[in-house]
Amino acid sequence: MRTLHLDSGREMRGGQWQALRLVEALPGEGVAATLLCRAGSPLFRRASAAGVDVRPLSLARLLILARRYDLVHAHDARSHTLALAAGRPLVVARRVSFPIRSLWKYRRAACLIAVSRAAADVLIAAGVPAARVAVVYDAVPLLDPAGPHERVLAPALADAMKGADLVREAARLAAVQVDFADDFAAALGTAAVFLYITRSEGLGSGALLAMSAAVPVIASAVGGLPEVIVDGETGLLVPNSPPAIAAALRRLLDDPALARAMGASARHSVEMRFSIPRMVRDTIGVYRKVLA
């Protein structure tokens, strides 16, 4: 099986990490993978360093290469649009839970891989046939467990939908300092609690990464996050209310034993449900169904 992957992202965000993890692992499962992405982008540089067959993304290159592959897998919205011209069976990743804009565009895909049940439900409610929707959860590597620290960490994202304003107000109410980290994956080893507050979320790969490092997560009860976190067991789910977020913060910071237990359970959940081998296996299952 030969697969051609497209991603047009300028940054290295959740979707780009998932595309990279997939194309790195597919050859080991007997599935050839070539990645087309923006020349000079973080994804292009990381894929090249990892030995992935990666080439600059353009419509001309897509049209030339597509005929050599069994299917095309588009990993973001813009590459989904480009892929419609490829004339090959099309698999599209859907990583968000807000409504779709073009039903025609989504109906052209042989299969839509939704990152969560919540994201799948949005597609089906919009009129995409359920038989063309599959759920494949994100995957993250297992990070070294965080040591005993008191640092409260949150991702530094400018997107207004990500709720940094709610985090700041909650921190004031809880009388704690929250560090907003650009590279929060590198900072997780020093974290006692990870805040993942957002107004919309397909799944929450940032929350999964913290869980993999045994850091307890406080997350918004929106989108696919309730599919990731079992409230009170592998983390805490909260409404997008600063007092509720502050109360959850104080609960974990004032009870280190509870925080450690949640972190350990969270890490075990990632091992069982959100591993890279499982994501790769489930994705290959989608490919086989499309090509059957």
pLDDT digit string, tens, across residues 82-124 = 999 999 999 999 998 888 888 889 989 999 999 999 999 999 9
Same fold, 2-139+275-291 and 151-273: yes
Task: Tell me: pLDDT of 147 over 90.
Answer: no
Taking domain 151-273, whether its CATH number is 3.40.50.2000 is answered by yes
What's the one-letter identity of residue 115? V
Longest CA–CA span in the chain (Å) reads: 60
H-assigned helices in 102-192: 103-107, 117-126, 164-174, 184-187
SS3 220: strand
Work out the average pLDDT over 259-274.
95
What pLDDT is attached to residue 183?
Answer: 84
Structure pTM? 0.91
**2-139+275-291 carries CATH number 3.30.450.20:** no
Model confidence at 73, in pLDDT bands (50, 70, 90)?
A: very high
Q: State the DSSP code for 231.
A: B
pLDDT at 185: 82
Average pLDDT over every residue of 37-44: 96
| Summary mean pLDDT of the chain | 94
Give the pLDDT band (50/70/90) at residue 160. Answer: low
Domain residue extents for the chain:
2-139+275-291, 151-273
Q: Summarize the confidence of residues 35-40 as an average pLDDT.
A: 96
